[in-house]
Structure 1
Amino acid sequence: MALAQFFTTFDKRRTVVLEAISDKIGTVLALIASLNEQSTANTTIENAQLRKNAWKNAEKNSTGQSTCMDGDPIRTEKC
């Protein structure tokens, strides 16, 4: 009888520990998913800004205006 009670108690403890671990893993996975979504959103915004800047530069090229941007680290001449 004592042996059966020992294993029953052991199983209950193991179940509680496994449930706690499962909850923590679920929380970590949710955080990772959230970070991935935020990263994707940031990348989309950055890509949209790059496309917008490219169109602005193309428009300047077609009108004959200067195409260098203020603070451009590659170009050394003044705009």
Structure 2
Amino acid sequence: MTIIRDFITKNENVPIMIETAETRNTTDPLRKELWKGMLYDIPKDLQNWEVIQEGYGIVAQCNVLTILEDGDEK
């Protein structure tokens, strides 16, 4: 399991978008943008959430981390 804080310790100075998904199904296209900014600026309340998918958003032009919308915080 990877949490958002793990990404911060590896690369602080990276633009990032955090989005939420309704399920763990990585092919489900329904996603909502939750937060966008620099990795080192991610709010503390989001840093312990489990990342279910990571990638690069062509439209967003930055790295994208996906977490579950239902509050599956670890």
More helix by share: 1
TM-score, normalising length from structure 2?
0.15
More strand by share: 2
Higher relative contact order (CA 8 A, sep 6+): 2
Structure exhibiting the larger radius of gyration computed from Cα positions: 1
TM-score, normalising length from structure 1?
0.15
